């Protein structure tokens, strides 16, 4: 007697024992869901970009090293702008008012997590111009006389100025970011009220995090509940039984509550966008129950003498193997997320794999009790789905090789689109054109001529930087980088040092290479407060590292990656070899998000494919079936991704994990079909396969409709990542349906069928 047989016999005995104690089981399950599910209220989510990159990631290490030397890079950029230069005094008045509010921690509009800020008003006292003795008219004169002031803080026309607010956000959770954003929004609104003729726009890590949270909140409040409604309606149409539809969906919701509750109790911090993936648990739970309920309906028609409870238990026993196998293979798919570079995805994959244990327990042991206790006579009226199933299988039977060839070639054509893939995680594209974040960034771009920044950190040997030769080389490097088309300007210490040299008595008029070293040291060290306080153009405390900020036009992630690599190459040619030159920043790190995770997931998906094939072979006791399962399980997600590339050309974060997220959905129906074909292996003719398909395909039709249309609703999300996820998931489900109907049976006959009769 095999081990697998002993395991199944133990499951069936436990199933009967639990079924005999229905009230106790229902009460125990309710308590379990309440206790474990309460943890969902404490689930921790965050938009911290470090959650999406592993500790060993090169781009994360660059940013972490920069933070260790120069402090946190979290900042908010606030731009004030007027229409014409004639309103410059009005602009300066608004800027000074903003400075006064930021400089007073007791002000009602103070920024709680602010560690420093920089603006023209913060620079003037360090230059010897106290604000209480310097009128706005004098500031306007200084802007004209001292070009460095205008270059650092104003646009060329002096119609817009920028304030950099440095932040140390201790609480990176959704609630923490929401509080920080509310403070910044209140400050901006008050400035708009006090200066109605001045445009006020702000952006930064806080506003981007809030935009992400707000977009996902809309989905959680409206789209996800609407998905449940769509699923319920389709279940109702399929079974024409309100109680059965409610029982199936309710069991799925319980599995989600248990999984999200476990996530809350675990204490892990998940990326905000990743949490919605826990709903995949409900997907698999409902899909398994759909197949079982259709099996119950078939038994009701064929075995009318059998009692309701006997029908229920017999159907659950009959499909126990494919249900267990589907859960196991889905767990493998999620565990493959451990190959992703994102710690948040790894934690999510591991937790969902554990959550599948809850789902399997509910399906095998609790769902039979719910169906028996709460569904009355348990009459499954699925005749319409069975008629449609017969029609589709007859269509396949008229030309199995033709249909499989057409679907196969079409999918291959779609996959060819992957060669055109461009990875783009440009954050602004995640939101609609009228979103406040996009409007603010557009205002900054229109006013300042740039909307993105990236940091260049240069590392020197002891005493190498503060020399005439060092500054001459720095000037040449800055000029070469600034000549690049994408670079609008570079915030660097040269203008401040040159300003100091120009206003000495007498002014220094020579080249930087010839300036006396003592004079250069004086100009740097006397302005150390200024350069240190100016967030992205600063010396390290030991003057062995220098950070400059490149101001660039809005562009795709591909261009950001290209620019970052180009700047590092230029710096290396200038002598900053190895790790002595590093381009970093949140924008740079994020631009590698999809590409890095997709490359990492290629290995994970390959391992998952091998493990899943082995599981199918072991469970179904057939090596040919294991090999046969590979193509129809992985081709749909690749075809869906290729189709997206043909349509849009660019893919983002959703593409990097789509294979793992959709794997359980796709493999579920495939397993049920292969299991049914394997049970009827004595009927491996065209007609025999057709009869098997007619019996199993009502479940496939219902799961495809329920899940495909449910996920398709995400395409109406206001958040582009979820739009991609909705399209890719729905397309994968529908393409998988075509494979299950037209390709899988034909391959089965060609590769495995015996004694075929035409």
Complete domains list, the chain, with CATH = 1-42+240-371 (1.20.1640.10), 55-229+433-449+492-535 (no CATH), 382-426+592-758 (1.20.1640.10)
CA distance 235 to 103: 61
Segment among 218-227, 347-356, 423-432, 444-453 with least mean pLDDT: 423-432
pLDDT in tens, 326-384: 888 888 888 888 887 778 778 878 888 888 888 999 999 999 999 988 777 788 888 89
Could you tell me the pLDDT band of residue 273, with boundaries at 50, 70 and 90?
low
Could you tell me the pLDDT band of residue 24, with boundaries at 50, 70 and 90?
very high
Residue 658 vs residues 338, 540, 652, 677, 728: alpha-carbon distances, Å: 14, 42, 11, 28, 7
Could you tell me the pLDDT band of residue 533, with boundaries at 50, 70 and 90?
very low
CA distance 751 to 681: 13
Q: Where are the beta strands (DSSP E) in 626-743?
A: 650-651
**For residue 201, what pLDDT is reported?**
93
pLDDT in tens, 663-685: 767 788 888 888 888 776 555 67
Is the pLDDT at 720 greater than 80, yes or no? Answer: no
What secondary structure letter does DSSP report for 170?
A: S
Cα-Cα-Cα-Cα torsion 640, 646, 651, 656, nearest 10 degrees, comes to 30
**For residue 73, what pLDDT is reported?**
61
pLDDT in tens, 606-655: 787 788 888 888 877 778 888 788 778 788 888 888 888 888 777 666 66
Is the pLDDT at 439 greater than 50, yes or no? Answer: yes
Mean model confidence pLDDT for the chain: 83
How much is the average pLDDT of 92-100?
92
**For residue 565, what pLDDT is reported?**
93
Sequence-ordered list of residues with C-beta below 8 angstroms from that of 455, at least 6 positions apart, any chain: 66, 73, 536, 547, 548, 549, 550, 583, 584, 585, 588
Instruction: Return the number of other C-beta atoms located less than 10 Å from residue 154's C-beta.
Output: 21
What number of helices (H) and strands (E) belong to the chain?
31, 13
- Which comes out higher in pLDDT, residue 260 or 628? 260
Is the pLDDT at 661 greater than 80, yes or no? Answer: no
Segment among 192-201, 459-468, 665-674 with least mean pLDDT: 665-674
Kindly report the length of the chain.
758
- Which comes out higher in pLDDT, residue 300 or 429? 300
Question: By the 8 A CB rule, do 699 and 672 touch?
Answer: yes
- Which comes out higher in pLDDT, residue 310 or 429? 310
CA distance 391 to 688: 16
CA distance 127 to 141: 14
Most confident listed range (260-269, 473-482, 632-641):
473-482
Segment among 26-40, 163-177, 507-521, 675-689 with least mean pLDDT: 675-689
- Could you give the percent of the chain with pLDDT greater than 70? 92
- Which comes out higher in pLDDT, residue 58 or 220? 58
pTM over 0.85: no
pLDDT in tens, 126-135: 777 888 888 9
Burial (CB count <10 Å: 0-12, 13-18, 19+), residue 491: buried
**For residue 91, what pLDDT is reported?**
93
Could you tell me the pLDDT band of residue 535, with boundaries at 50, 70 and 90?
very low
What SS3 state is found at 484? coil
pLDDT in tens, 63-77: 888 877 777 667 788
pLDDT in tens, 163-188: 888 887 777 777 778 888 899 999 99
């Amino acid at each position: 007697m095999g081990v697998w047989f002993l395991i199944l016999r133990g499951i069936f005995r436990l199933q009967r024992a639990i079924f005999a104690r229905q009230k106790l089981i229902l009460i125990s399950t309710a308590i379990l869901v309440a206790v474990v599910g309460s943890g969902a209220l404490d689930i921790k989510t965050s938009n911290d970009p470090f959650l999406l990159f592993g500790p060993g990631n090169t781009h994360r290490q660059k940013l972490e090293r920069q933070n260790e030397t120069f402090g946190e890079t979290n900042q908010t950029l606030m731009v004030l702008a007027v229409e014409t230069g004639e309103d410059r005094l009005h602009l300066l008045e608004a800027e000074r008012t903003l400075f006064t509010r930021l400089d007073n921690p007791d002000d009602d509009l103070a920024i709680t997590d602010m560690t420093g800020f920089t603006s023209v008003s913060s620079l003037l006292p360090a230059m010897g111009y106290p604000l209480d003795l310097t009128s706005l008219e004098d500031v306007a004169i200084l802007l004209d006389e001292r070009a460095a002031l205008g270059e650092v803080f104003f646009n060329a026309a002096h119609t817009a100025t920028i304030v950099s607010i440095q932040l140390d956000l201790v609480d990176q959770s959704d609630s923490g970011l929401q509080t920080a954003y509310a403070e910044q929004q209140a400050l901006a609104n008050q400035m708009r009220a006090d200066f109605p003729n001045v445009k006020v726009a702000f952006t930064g890590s806080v506003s981007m995090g809030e935009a992400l949270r707000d977009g996902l909140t809309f989905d959680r409040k409206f789209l996800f509940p609407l998905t449940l409604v769509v699923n319920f309606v389709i279940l109702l149409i399929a079974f024409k039984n309100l109680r059965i539809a409610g029982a199936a969906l309710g069991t799925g919701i319980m599995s989600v509550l248990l999984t999200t509750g476990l996530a809350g109790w675990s204490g892990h911090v998940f990326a905000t966008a990743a949490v919605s993936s826990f709903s995949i648990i409900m997907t698999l739970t409902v899909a398994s129950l759909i197949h079982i309920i259709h099996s119950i309906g078939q038994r009701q028609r064929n075995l009318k003498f059998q009692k309701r409870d006997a029908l229920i238990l017999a159907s659950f026993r009959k499909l126990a193997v494919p249900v267990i196998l589907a859960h196991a293979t889905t767990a493998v798919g999620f565990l493959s997320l451990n190959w992703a570079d994102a710690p948040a995805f790894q934690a999510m994959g591991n937790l969902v794999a554990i959550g599948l244990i809850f789902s399997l327990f509910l399906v095998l042991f609790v769902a039979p009790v719910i169906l028996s206790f709460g569904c009355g006579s348990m009459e499954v009226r699925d005749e319409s789905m069975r008629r449609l199933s017969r029609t589709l299988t007859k269509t396949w039977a008229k030309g199995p090789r033709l249909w499989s060839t057409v679907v196969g070639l079409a999918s291959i054509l779609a996959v060819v689109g992957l060669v055109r893939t461009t990875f783009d995680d440009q954050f602004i594209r995640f939101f609609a054109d009228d979103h406040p974040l996009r409007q603010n960034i557009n205002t900054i771009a229109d006013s300042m001529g740039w909307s993105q920044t990236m940091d260049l950190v240069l590392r020197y040997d002891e005493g190498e930087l503060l020399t005439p030769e060092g500054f001459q080389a720095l000037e040449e490097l800055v000029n070469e980088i600034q000549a690049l088309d994408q670079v609008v300007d570079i915030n660097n210490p040269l203008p401040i040092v040159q300003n100091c040299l120009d206003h000495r008595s007498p002014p220094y008029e020579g080249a930087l290479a010839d300036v006396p070293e003592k004079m250069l040291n004086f100009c740097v060290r006397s302005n150390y407060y200024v350069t240190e306080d100016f967030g992205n153009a600063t010396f390290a405390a030991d003057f062995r590292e220098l950070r400059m900020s490149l101001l660039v036009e809005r562009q795709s992630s591909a261009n950001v990656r290209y620019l970052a690599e180009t700047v590092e190459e230029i710096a290396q040619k200038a002598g900053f070899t190895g790790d002595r030159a590093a381009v970093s920043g949140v924008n740079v790190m994020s631009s590698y998000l999809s590409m890095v995770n997709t490359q990492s997931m290629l290995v994970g998906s390959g391992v998952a494919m091998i493990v899943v094939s082995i599981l199918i072979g072991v469970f179904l006791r057939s090596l040919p079936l294991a090999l046969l399962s590979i193509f129809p399980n992985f081709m749909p997600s690749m075809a869906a991704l290729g189709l997206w590339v043909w349509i849009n050309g660019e893919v983002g974060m959703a593409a990097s994990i789509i294979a793992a997220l959709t794997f359980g959905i796709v493999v579920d129906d495939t397993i049920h079909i292969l299991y049914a074909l394997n049970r009827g292996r004595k009927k491996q003719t065209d007609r025999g396969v057709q009869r098997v398909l007619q019996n199993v395909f009502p479940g496939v039709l219902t799961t495809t409709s329920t899940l495909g249309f449910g996920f398709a609703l995400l395409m109406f999300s206001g958040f582009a990542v979820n739009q991609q996820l909705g399209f890719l998931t729905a397309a994968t489900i529908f393409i998988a349906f075509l494979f299950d109907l037209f390709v899988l049976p034909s391959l089965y006959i060609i590769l495995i069928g015996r004694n075929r009769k035409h």
